[in-house]
A and B are shown apart, each in its own frame.
Chain A
Amino acid sequence: MTEHLLSLALTGSGGAGVMTVGQILLDAAAHAGWYGLMRRSLGPQIRGGESAALMRFGSRPILSHGDTFDVLFAFDWGNITRFAAELPLRSDSVVLYDPDAGEVPEVIARSNARCVAVPLTATVKSEPGLRANMIGLGLAAHILRLTPADLQPLLADFLGDKGEEALALSLRGIELGAGLADALPASTWPVCPRPAKSEKPRWSITGNEAAGLGAVKGGVRFVAAYPITPSTEILEWLAPNLARLGGQLVQAEDELASINMLVGASYGGVPSLTATSGPGLSLMIEGLGMSVGAEIPVTVIDVQRGGPSTGIPTKSEQSDFNIAVYGLHGDAPHIVVAATSIPDCMPTVQWAVSAAEAAQCPAIVLSDQNMGQSRAIIDPPAEGGPVAARRLAAPEDGTPYLRYALTNDGVSPMAVPGIAGGEYTADGLAHNERGTPSTQAADHQSQLDKRQRKLETLDCANFWAELEGDGPIAVIALGSLTEPAREAVRAANGAARLIGLRVVLPLQAEAMAKALAGATKVLVVEQNHSAQFHHFLRGHYDLPPVVDSLHRAGPLPLRPLEILAAINALKGDA
């Protein structure tokens, strides 16, 4: 079966309604049988500014952005220069624009793409009450061979209680937009036949929603929240949905409070989680250190954005890798995992929560804006691994309970309030087996050993990485770059293999050695300025002698063709 893919960018000034158009289009396409992906690119403004819906559709599952856009539909040219770099075009791309919004700007025209004028403004003025975005929706739908009849059932949902008249006007706008498309020659459009309708119902989900779902599947029933872009949607999703499961979310006064509230709730025996981004993670670091020392499991999802400091809150980067791995003070073994795609946010968070519970330590989940705030049409995700429970203590009469007992696997059964005979004082001070503060070298050493042992014995076998192919060049990709890397590996025709590393900590020496067997070269792919992941891999793993790094700061995502080019360059190296 021929595979059809289409990349479409909808751009406009904030308030032009391109995000709504993108959302309706994605849903309508999904109902018609398309898989799809919609990323958002927004300016820093609360309202207004610039916005872009960056969409990709396919007859097969789509988890990666493409290389270039087949169609750019500019509702207007407001602030286009600010994100033109995020809209790569080819000479055979099509640019749809409204002639009343002005000439095609140089930043777009220089791509030599075909520019096709569509009279949006003129059409809006042709009848009273029309809105440009609905006309645009009708036109954009045509590119995917969707008709007004495909859009109509979704409109009512989007318009909510705006009334019959608004619905009628919107439908009229869609029809006029479809008419504008019909008036253009068929050769204007990429070949894009409607796919067969799927038998099984598909899901529409964002990475942040999938992360929230993973949290509750992992058993999380307490969340303390402080809002921060681009992670807030996880918390907003959890607030009502946790309550439906009998759990609760509390809004904290800051991230210092939220991490410590988690520690308190988890000390009480309730699996706890929060979501944040770089600046919030920085504030949580001290609390995470306590979670290591006092052995209280908590999970923190970091939806990364451009950094340092406030950085670029609305756009993606993978530059919190180092703080997640190395940020804790003292020798502080903990879990760090990276979700590899939008749907993968679910099982990855689920696994992280259950690993934290099993190992009684903190887990940090790395996501990023690119996954968190993007929506995908997917097949229902596979169930995550089995959920490990926390090992609880059953103290016996006459035997003093040792909270931090030195066990073979390092995990000491934990008492929680309500368990008689298990009364102990959890402590961030170095302590002995009982938990009593101790400054003695032997106690410090044995507790450090124990905490390290817990992670060495953690079973990560079926989860540690996404693997595909067996070519001699191993592409080790981080987080949301796993799927673009997969496209590149597939396009490399057997020259490469993919290792999408999920479990960053604890180190997976054996599994990595096995995955690298036979590989002669490595390409490390990540989205940050200083190649943090590359240095980590070089520092901790035995890699083949030739290692290349493909890294770039956000927000411009690394694209499959760039990764393929890097693979080909390595292939060429003797």
Chain B
Amino acid sequence: MNEVTPTPELEAFDYKSDVNPVWCPGCGDYAVLSAITKALAELRLARENVAVISGIGCSSRIPAYTSVYGFHGIHGRALPIAQGLKLARPDVTVLCAGGDGDGFSIGGNHFMHACRRNIDLTYIVMDNTVYGMTKGQASPTTEADWRESKLTPEGPGVPPFQPLDIALAAGASHVVRAFSGRVQMLTKYIVEAIQHPGFSFIQVISPCVTYRPEMRALKTRVHDGFAETSTNRLEARRRLLDDDGYSLGVLFKSVEPSYKPCATSDEAVADLERQFVL
């Protein structure tokens, strides 16, 4: 998180734009938008010093619904855009947001390497276990036997991607699971993630009421399984062995080295040219 001039007059509502979401009524993403704007208000960040970067998908529409700088990029590439921005402009608070397909399937490689690089940004994945924008196909987090998609009539048939385990294995330094039905808690997690000096990953279980209507029932299944935070990566991974996928909380947090570019100096281009002179 960066030191910025406090702007006490901004409320959460001031961080919302006047663009109406394309989301379905009942979609969990409304609550995530609400939590993000509340977190920004909590941190009193000036709108011009925050950027929300996304890829493609229902949840990736989120930047335009905020009043800060935004980038609605291309499918799967939100994290490279966000990392490029943060490296070039370390003074900007960078949030990256999107869905499970965007982040774990087409963008899976970038996810792992963003965890490794540990650049100071916050990555919020709204995980609804389905591709909503293309009409309900299985996503990487969909159960192997889910048979509701014409594309995979017998179910995707492969075990679901394990976002937290992979984030831990790849080196993420702040790993959280949250639920869109608990906005206050999510707000707190986002604030902590922004304040964390490194790569923060928040998997937000965010129901798709259109293609996964059974997800409405999740509010009774989620529980505070990660109420205690590990600072030991191995222990955090062990805790995932008996995780039912609905434990909420900050699973792991540790301040670890971040990718640093070469040390710079302020020479002139003419100084560089000397190397070519015979």
Task: State yes or no: do A and B touch (Cβ within 8 Å).
Answer: yes
Q: List residues of chain A with CB under 8 Å of any chain B CB.
A: 27, 30-31, 201-205, 209, 213, 216-217, 221-222, 224, 239-250, 252-254, 256-270, 272, 286-287, 289-290, 294, 377, 380, 415-429, 435-437
**B74's contact among A203, A286, A415, A416, by CB below 8 Å, is which?**
A286
Q: List 3 A-B pairs, minimum CB-CB distance, nearest first.
A: A264-B84, A261-B84, A425-B70
> Bound state CA distance, A150 and B1, in angstroms?
59
B73 interface residue per 8 A CB criterion: yes
A435 neighbours in B (Cβ, 8 Å): 64
Cross-chain contact A417 with B89 (CB below 8 angstroms): yes
> Bound state CA distance, A461 and B31, in angstroms?
54
Q: How many A-B residue pairs have CB under 8 A?
A: 196
User: Which one, B136-144, B203-211, B233-241, B259-267, is touching chain A?
Assistant: B259-267
A429 neighbours in B (Cβ, 8 Å): 72
B87 interface residue per 8 A CB criterion: yes
B47 interface residue per 8 A CB criterion: yes
Q: How far is the CB of A411 from chain B (nearest CB, A)?
A: 20
B262 neighbours in A (Cβ, 8 Å): 239-240, 242-243, 248-249
Cross-chain contact A222 with B48 (CB below 8 angstroms): no
> Bound state CA distance, A435 and B67, in angstroms?
13
Offer 26 A-B interface pairs, CB within 8 angstroms, sorted by A. Answer: A203-B276, A205-B276, A224-B80, A224-B84, A246-B265, A248-B88, A250-B87, A253-B112, A254-B109, A256-B76, A256-B80, A257-B109, A260-B84, A261-B81, A267-B51, A268-B84, A268-B89, A268-B92, A380-B277, A417-B48, A417-B49, A417-B85, A417-B92, A420-B46, A425-B63, A425-B66
Cross-chain contact A436 with B72 (CB below 8 angstroms): no
Contact A424 B70, CB 8 Å, known A204-B276, A272-B84, A272-B88: yes
Cross-chain contact B53 with A27 (CB below 8 angstroms): no
> Bound state CA distance, A264 and B110, in angstroms?
14
B85 neighbours in A (Cβ, 8 Å): 264-265, 267-268, 417
> Bound state CA distance, A573 and B217, in angstroms?
83
Say whether chain A's binding surface is mostly helix, strand, loop, or mixed.
Answer: mixed
Cross-chain contact A243 with B278 (CB below 8 angstroms): no
Within 8 A of A (CB), among B244-278: 259, 261-269, 271-273, 276-278
B91 interface residue per 8 A CB criterion: yes
B68 interface residue per 8 A CB criterion: yes
Cross-chain contact B64 with A423 (CB below 8 angstroms): no
Contact A216 B80, CB 8 Å, known A30-B278, A253-B109: no
> Bound state CA distance, A154 and B258, in angstroms?
42
A261 neighbours in B (Cβ, 8 Å): 80-81, 83-84, 87
Q: How far is the CB of A498 from chain B (nearest CB, A)?
A: 27
Q: How far is the CB of A33 from chain B (nearest CB, A)?
A: 11
Q: How far is the CB of B101 from chain A (nearest CB, A)?
A: 16
Closest to A261 in B: B84
Identify the interface centre among A239, A260, A269: most chain B CB within 10 Å of its CB. Answer: A260
> Bound state CA distance, A425 and B71, in angstroms?
5
19 new A-B contacts, CB < 8 A, other than A427-B71, A436-B64, are: A27-B278, A204-B278, A221-B88, A224-B80, A248-B87, A248-B261, A257-B109, A264-B80, A264-B81, A268-B89, A287-B77, A294-B71, A380-B277, A416-B89, A417-B92, A422-B69, A423-B48, A425-B72, A436-B19
B33 interface residue per 8 A CB criterion: no
Cross-chain contact A257 with B80 (CB below 8 angstroms): yes
Q: How far is the CB of A202 from chain B (nearest CB, A)?
A: 5
Cross-chain contact B83 with A264 (CB below 8 angstroms): yes
Cross-chain contact B64 with A418 (CB below 8 angstroms): no
Cross-chain contact A244 with B265 (CB below 8 angstroms): yes
B113 interface residue per 8 A CB criterion: yes
> Bound state CA distance, A541 and B263, in angstroms?
49
Contact A241 B272, CB 8 Å, known A27-B278, A261-B87: yes
Chain B interface residue count, CB cutoff 8 Å, equals 53
Cross-chain contact A247 with B264 (CB below 8 angstroms): yes
Closest to A265 in B: B88
Cross-chain contact B74 with A287 (CB below 8 angstroms): yes
B276 neighbours in A (Cβ, 8 Å): 203-205, 209, 213
> Bound state CA distance, A427 and B89, in angstroms?
20
B82 interface residue per 8 A CB criterion: yes
B112 neighbours in A (Cβ, 8 Å): 253
Cross-chain contact A418 with B88 (CB below 8 angstroms): no
Q: How far is the CB of B108 from chain A (nearest CB, A)?
A: 11
Identify the interface centre among A259, A423, A426: most chain B CB within 10 Å of its CB. Answer: A423
Q: How far is the CB of B52 from chain A (nearest CB, A)?
A: 8
> Bound state CA distance, A93 and B109, in angstroms?
55
Cross-chain contact B80 with A252 (CB below 8 angstroms): yes
Q: How far is the CB of A401 from chain B (nearest CB, A)?
A: 11
> Bound state CA distance, A266 and B259, in angstroms?
19
> Bound state CA distance, A478 and B94, in angstroms?
43
B110 neighbours in A (Cβ, 8 Å): 253, 256-257
Cross-chain contact B49 with A418 (CB below 8 angstroms): yes
A242 neighbours in B (Cβ, 8 Å): 262
Closest to A436 in B: B19
B265 neighbours in A (Cβ, 8 Å): 243-244, 246
B66 neighbours in A (Cβ, 8 Å): 425
Contact A246 B49, CB 8 Å, known A224-B84, A263-B81: no
Cross-chain contact B74 with A222 (CB below 8 angstroms): no
> Bound state CA distance, A205 and B81, in angstroms?
33
Cross-chain contact B271 with A250 (CB below 8 angstroms): no
**B91's contact among A247, A418, A427, A437, by CB below 8 Å, is which?**
A418
**A245's contact among B63, B70, B261, B266, by CB below 8 Å, is which?**
B266
**A270's contact among B63, B89, B271, by CB below 8 Å, is which?**
B89
Closest to A209 in B: B276
Q: How far is the CB of A425 from chain B (nearest CB, A)?
A: 3
A380 neighbours in B (Cβ, 8 Å): 273, 277
> Bound state CA distance, A265 and B261, in angstroms?
14
Cross-chain contact A263 with B89 (CB below 8 angstroms): no
A286 neighbours in B (Cβ, 8 Å): 74, 77
Cross-chain contact B72 with A428 (CB below 8 angstroms): yes
Identify the interface centre among B50, B77, B268: most chain A CB within 10 Å of its CB. Answer: B77
> Bound state CA distance, A435 and B74, in angstroms?
15
Cross-chain contact A290 with B74 (CB below 8 angstroms): yes
**A256's contact among B77, B84, B263, by CB below 8 Å, is which?**
B77
Identify the interface centre among A241, A266, A268, A380: most chain B CB within 10 Å of its CB. Answer: A268
Identify the interface centre among A209, A252, A257, A287: most chain B CB within 10 Å of its CB. Answer: A257
> Bound state CA distance, A286 and B88, in angstroms?
22
Closest to A271 in B: B88
Cross-chain contact B64 with A222 (CB below 8 angstroms): no
**A267's contact among B71, B91, B271, by CB below 8 Å, is which?**
B71
**A213's contact among B76, B89, B261, B272, by CB below 8 Å, is which?**
B272
